[in-house]
Structures are given as structure tokens and as C-alpha cells.
Structure 1
Amino acid sequence: MPEMPEVEGLVQFLRERAVGRTLAAVEVGAISALKTFSPAPTALVGAAVTGVARHGKWLDVATDADGELHLVFHLAKAGWLRWYDAAPAAHLRPGRSPIALRARLDDGAGFDLTEAGTRKRLAVHVVRSPGDVPAIATLGVEPAQLTLEGLTALLAARNQQIKGLLRDQSVIAGIGNAYSDEILHAARVSPFALTRSLDEAEVARLLQAMDEVLAAAVAEAAGKPAAELKDAKRRSMRVHGRAGLPCPVCGDTVREVSFADSALQYCPTCQTGGKILADRRMSKLLR
């Protein structure tokens, strides 16, 4: 799933190529991806792109259509943005490809929103304000805006596993499964430590890790073409997606805990005092 650094990379990529251009066509290839019906996507045709922004993991393409309309989308777990310097001339045939939406610009360029797999979760909204999208209106704080006092308050407000809190978009916006693994590894904190159990030193390490891991990932994504962002993300991971490989910090074997539709990775030596977390679905996991 694209997370904040990759989405920020896509924002910069689109901003450089689309702002100031006119939308020549907007075609829907998967009706299930379209979450709004009025205004219709065709209302964007003929409008100039005035800006591209990010809200958590959501991308926001602002236009001057009908005063102001926004094409807002979330790529979900299996979605991506495919850029064309010369967009295909053929019209989309709904249901015949993984393409959920195609936008063409007046200079012949354009982009597709695509989604692989059978679980279709990519979401496209055409709205007058990004805040009209409920998932955006309820987003929590951006990681870069967190202070030590603010993070301490967030952790004290509930007593849950820290891994889950970092991924909760209503608490902290933009962090998903991959970067929560990376942040916790850098902070030397167990993914199943309870939020109220963290002492001052652990909270300070967590904030520092959040700042450093995300800043490095944003810098890595900056300036890269959309097609290269996924590989850049994979290369930067220290524990996420590296189960069975040596930890680059201590050399211990990176371990995995699997769930119904996801998995997390961690280093026992760096994060859990050498304890191996139980890898049993629906079990009560060790902390």
C-alpha cells in the first residue's frame, strides 16, 4: 500500500506535470471505484489543474471546474498511479482492465489509476472540498506536526498496542503497515507494547524514529518517476518485508507475525528483548 512518503512523491510528480494543464478527458473504467455521483467526473473536463496536494494517504487534484472541484483518490492496498507522457488513444472499456480511471491532459499526457487483485478498495471522489470526503475529514495529525508533548498525549489517551495506534488514520495520518514496522524497529519498541506502558525515553525514541524514518523515505521518493517509487520503497526497508533475513542493525533474524490479510516484521534482539512473538492468528500475542 502506498503510504505517506510514496504519496508525497506522487504529489510532487503530478504537481510538476499537471498543474497549469487542462483536463481533456476523464474516463471511469471501474464504477465500483467511484464513490460520488454528483458532480460527475465529466464535470472536470475542460478545467485547469490548479494544484496537487496530499491528505494522509489521499491524493487531491484541485481544478477550477465550476468554481472549484477536486479529484480526490486513495490508492488502497493494491492501487497505483500509472503516468503516460503520451496517453493511450483508446477509450476505456469498463470492467475489461485493472484501470479504474484515466485522465488525459491537453498536452497529450495523462495518468491511469489502476488496481490489481480481486479485492477492489481504490476510492475516487469528485468533491467541492477535500473535507467533503469523510475519511479525510476525520484524519488525525500529520507526523511532521507531532511534538513530544503531543505524542505523549496521544499515547496516554488510549491503552492499545502501539503498532495499531501508528496505523490508525484518525490518530496519525499517513503511516501504514510498512512504515510502522520501520519506525518501531528504529525506536527499538515492540509492535505489541501497550501505549501507556512506554516510558519517557521510549516515547522520545519513537518520535525521533518517526521523524527520521519518514523524512528519509520522503527524500528517497522525491524526484522519482511514479514507476520507480515502489522499488525505492522496498529497497529502503530494514525489517518490513524481510522476514528470514538478518537485521541490518544486530544481525538477528527478522521475524514475522501473520494475520488474516497482513503481516508485520520485527527484530527480536532490537525490539522485544530477544522474545519471539507468537505467530498464531487470532491468538493472544506476547508483548
Structure 2
Amino acid sequence: MPELPEVEALKEFLTGHLVGRQIVRVLPVAISVLKTYDPPATALEGGTVTAVQRHGKFLDLAADNGLHLVTHLARAGWLQWRDRLPDGPPRPGRGPLALRVALETGEGFDLTEAGTQKRLAVYVVTDARQVEGVARLGPDPLAADFDEQRLAALLAGERRRIKGALRDQGLIAGVGNAYSDEILHAARMSPFKLAASLSPEEVHVLYEALRATLTGAVARSRGVAAGRLKAEKKSGLRVHGRTGQPCPVCGDAIREVSFSDSSLQYCPDCQTGGKPLADRRMSRLLK
């Protein structure tokens, strides 16, 4: 799933490729991708892109006709830039193509989604805050005013485990499953630790890990072509998605805890005092 660093990189990439360009066609291929219908997606046609913004994991393309094309790529969605779009309209079918945006220059981009669960979402609105997911976002962790005291205040009343708190978009915008694993590994903190139980010293360590992990990932992604961002993200991960591989810090084997539709990865030696966390799904399989 694209998270804050990848969406930030897409924002920068699209700013250089879209701003000042006129949109000539918006072609929905999978109707399910459109979450708004008034104004229609075709109302963007003829507008010139004036800005590209990021709200958490949402991309926001603003046009001079007062409309915004807001996109959430969800788990399996992606944006594919094309220096030259194919001739003729795309054919609806079972392929991954969900929506195509064509520019006057012949360039454009496709929004695609792999898999059978279709969660990619596109909204055409007059204000990005009309999108419920944008309106409920918490503060951006890379914003200038997101300091250690603000993180402490956000976590003070949290009864959840720190892993879940970091992933809550209403609490902190932009951090998902992968980077929450990376942040907690950098902070040497158990993902099951209760958020409200953190001491001031632990909040300090977590804050430093949060900022360093995200700024480092953004720096690695900056200037990378849109089509290579997924590979760049994967290559930079130290624990997430690396179950069974040695921890790059201590050499212990990375462990996994599985849930119904996701999993987390961690290093027992670095994060939990050498103790493996209970994996209920795996435990049931072993009975």
C-alpha cells in the first residue's frame, strides 16, 4: 500500500508533469472507482492543473475550474505515468485499469488496481475536505508544527497498542502498516506496547524514529519515477515484509504476527527483550 513517503513522491512527480497542463479526457474504466457523481468526472475536462497536494495518503489534483480530483490508492492501487497514451479509448474489462486521465500534450496517467478487492477511490469535488477520509485526517507527521509535545498529547489518551495508534489516520495522517513496523523497529519498541503507557523518554525516542524514518523514505523516493516507487519502498524496508530474514541491526530472525487481512513484522531482540509475540493465527494452525 502506498503510504506517506510514496504519495509525497507521487505529488512531487506529478507537480512537475501536470501543473500548467490541460486535462482533455477523464475516462473511468471501472465505474466502481468513482465515489462521487456530481459533478461528473468529465467536468474536469478543459481545466488546467494548478496544483498537486497530498493529504495523508490522498492525492489531490486541483484545476483552474474549481474542481479537485482526489484519489486514494488503497492497498493495491497505483498511478502509472505514460509519456504517450495509447490511441483510442480503453476497453472496460477485467484488467487492472480503473481510470485514465489524458492531457493536451498526449501524455497522461492511468490509475490501476490489482487483485479482486477493489478499494481504489476517486472523488471529484470542489473542496478536498468534502471527502470524508480527508476531513477526518489527523495532523501530518512531517508538518513543521508536528513536534514532540504534539505526539505526546495525541498518545496520552490512547488505550490502544502503539502499532494500532500509529496506523490510525484520524490520529496521525499517512503512516500505514509498513512504516509503522519500520518506525517501531527504529525506536526499539514493541508493537504491542500500550500507547498511553509511554514515558516521556519513550515518546522522545518514538518521535525521533517517526521523523527520521519518514524523512529518510521521502528522501530516497524523491526524483524516482512513478513506476519505480514501489520497488524503492520495498528495498528500503528493514523489517516489514522480511519475515525469517536477519535483522539488519542485531542479526536475530525477523518474526511475524498475522491478523485476518494483514501482518506485522518485528525483531524480538531489538523490540521485545528477545520474547516472541503471540501469533494467534499461527498458534491455531499448530494445534
**Class of the TM-score when normalised by the shorter of the 2 chains:** over 0.9
State whether residues 143 and 211 of structure 1, in contact with CA within 8 Å, keep that contact through their aligned partners in structure 2. yes
Residue type of the partner of 2:110? Answer: D
Q: Structure 1: where are the runs of 5+ without partners?
A: none
Corresponding letter in the other structure for 1:63? A
Q: Which amino acid aligns with 2:235?
A: R
Report what 2:280 is aligned to. 280
TM-score after normalising by structure 2: 0.96
Tell me how far apart the structure 1 counterparts of residues 281 and 180 of structure 2 sit (CA, whole Å): 20
> Any idea what SS the aligned residue of 1:50 has?
strand
Question: Aligned partners of 2:282, 2:240: CA distance in 1, in Å?
Answer: 21
CA distance in 2, matches of 1:249, 1:131: 42
Q: How many angstroms does 1:149 deviate by?
A: 1.1
Q: Structure 1: how far apart are the matches of 2:235 and 2:103?
A: 32
Contact 2:181/2:240, CA 8 A, preserved across alignment: yes
Q: Distance in 2 between matches of 1:101 and 1:235?
A: 28
Give 2:157's aligned residue.
157
Give the number of aligned pairs.
Answer: 281
Aligned runs of 1:137-152 on 2, under 5 Å? 137-145=135-143, 146-152=146-152
Q: CA deviation at 1:24?
A: 1.1
The answer to whether the Cα contact below 8 Å between 2:258 and 2:282 also exists between their aligned partners in 1 is no
User: Identity, % of aligned pairs?
Assistant: 59
In the alignment, which residue of structure 2 is the partner of 1:78?
76
The residue aligned with 1:222 is 222
Whole-Å Cα distance in 2 between the matches of residues 72 and 243 of structure 1? 35
Retained in 2: the 8 A contact 1:99–1:113? yes
Q: Which one-letter code corresponds to 2:209 in the other structure?
A: A
Q: CA deviation at 1:202?
A: 1.0
Aligned equivalents of 1:103, 1:196: Cα separation in 2: 45
Matches within 5 A, 1:87-236: 87-145=85-143, 146-236=146-236
Mean CA deviation greater in 138-147 or 124-133: 138-147
- One-letter identity of the residue aligned with 2:68: H
TM-score (norm 1): 0.96
Question: Which residue of structure 1 lines up, in the alignment, with residue 257 of structure 2?
Answer: 257
Deviation at 1:97, TM superposition (A): 2.2
Alignment RMSD (CA, Å) = 1.1
Q: CA deviation at 1:18?
A: 0.7
**2:214 and 2:22 mapped to 1: Cα distance?**
33
Q: How does 1:2-13 map to 2 (within 5 A)?
A: 2-13=2-13
Residues of 1 paired with 2:277 and 2:206: CA distance?
20
Are the equivalent residues in 2 in contact too, given 1:52–1:59 (CA < 8 A)?
Answer: yes
Are 1:247 and 2:262 matched, yes or no? no
The residue aligned with 1:269 is 269
For the residue of structure 1 that corresponds to 2:242, the secondary structure is coil
Dislocated runs of 4+, deviation >4 Å: none
* Conserved? CA contact 1:31–1:94, under 8 Å: no
What is the identity, as a one-letter code, of the residue corresponding to 2:126? R
Instruction: Say whether the 8 Å CA contact 2:254–2:267 is kept in structure 1.
Output: yes
